[in-house]
């Protein structure tokens, strides 16, 4: 699951991000609300975790904008404020849950799982193991293999991990941070290293499946007439 974390306390943000990465999630972390507002129109997440008191733009203002655009996406507000007015405002602006600091990371995990389960039960999506990306390309979500006209395409483990990430987020822009979180499991990777990996995969593909969105990242879209 792709999660946006807005938190300006460095140690807390690192703890949350490390924990959620270990739980198998992608986590994009931002320490000020202005950055979050600038990417809302181009980035969509499966879950939002927002601190109320953040630099430049506060979490509640971000919450209002996110709720207007993605009303059904779960959003948790975290804050040291215990004032009932803040809690009331958070729920009136569209938050799904409110978590008071300090909290146990396991509690955060439980609340994320609970809210996600509620959304999944409501949506009940039909599982499709085979994703058709173009007339020639298909991807098997069970084996994580890419096929061209029914033949398995050869990629390195890291290259295939990148393809899996794109297929799981079709139509969404993947930033360097998103790629680093998934492919390198949160370990450090220079932008040039990430760019090199993407370019290698693009060069091996027989069709232009991956598009470079200058200044933002990369995206994979289903090609027309599939």
What's the pLDDT tens digit per position in 69-88?
Answer: 999 899 999 988 777 787 88
The answer to whether residue 226 sits within a structural domain is no
Residues 44 and 97 grouped into a single domain: yes
Q: Residue 31 — pLDDT band, cuts 50, 70, 90? A: very high
Q: Is residue 27 part of a domain?
A: yes
| DSSP-derived 3-state class of residue 66 | helix
pLDDT of residue 192: 95
Query: Is 17 in the same domain as 75?
Result: yes
Average pLDDT for 178-198: 90
Q: H or E element: which one contains 91?
A: helix 84-92
Instruction: Say which range, 80-84, 134-138, 146-150, 181-185, has the weakest mean pLDDT.
Output: 80-84
pLDDT score of 210 more than 50: yes
181 close to 27: Cβ distance less than 8 angstroms: yes
The reported pLDDT for the residue numbered 224 is: 57
The band of 125, judged by pLDDT with boundaries at 50, 70 and 90, is low
Q: Kindly state whether residues 170 and 216 are assigned to the same domain.
A: yes
With 0-12 CB in 10 A as exposed, 13-18 as middle and 19+ as buried, what is 177?
middle
Domain housing 190: 130-220
159 domain-assigned = yes
Instruction: Output the pLDDT for position 13.
Output: 94
Hey, what are 156's tokens? 């390195």
- Tens-digit pLDDT profile for residues 150-165: 999 999 999 999 999 9
Q: How many domains does the chain have?
A: 2
Do 23 and 118 lie in a common domain?
A: yes
The average confidence (pLDDT) of the chain is: 89
pLDDT at residue 49 is higher than 70: yes
pLDDT of residue 226: 45
pLDDT greater than 90 at residue 216:
no
Q: Are residues 142 and 119 in the same domain?
A: no
Q: Which of 108, 123, 138 is the last residue of a domain?
A: 123
């Amino acid at each position: 699951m792709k999660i946006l974390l807005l938190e300006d306390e460095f140690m807390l943000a690192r703890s949350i991000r490390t924990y959620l990465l270990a739980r198998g999630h992608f986590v994009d972390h931002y320490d000020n609300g202005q950055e979050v507002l600038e990417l809302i129109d181009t980035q969509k997440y499966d879950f939002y975790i927002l601190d109320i008191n953040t630099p430049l733009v506060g979490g509640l203002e971000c919450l209002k904008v996110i709720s207007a655009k993605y009303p059904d996406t779960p959003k948790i507000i975290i804050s040291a404020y215990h004032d009932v007015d803040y809690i009331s405002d958070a729920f009136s602006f569209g938050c799904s849950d409110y978590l008071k600091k300090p909290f146990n990371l396991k509690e955060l995990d439980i609340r994320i799982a609970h809210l996600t389960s509620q959304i999944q039960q409501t949506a009940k999506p039909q599982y499709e193991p085979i994703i058709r990306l173009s007339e020639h390309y298909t991807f098997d979500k069970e084996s994580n293999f890419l096929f061209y006209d029914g033949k398995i395409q050869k990629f390195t483990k890291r290259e295939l991990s990148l393809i899996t990430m794109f297929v799981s987020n079709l139509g969404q822009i993947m930033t360097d941070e998103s790629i680093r979180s998934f492919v390198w499991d949160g370990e450090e990777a220079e932008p040039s290293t990430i760019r090199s990996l993407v370019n290698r995969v693009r060069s091996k593909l027989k069709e232009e499946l991956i598009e470079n969105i200058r200044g933002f990242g990369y995206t994979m879209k289903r090609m027309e007439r599939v």
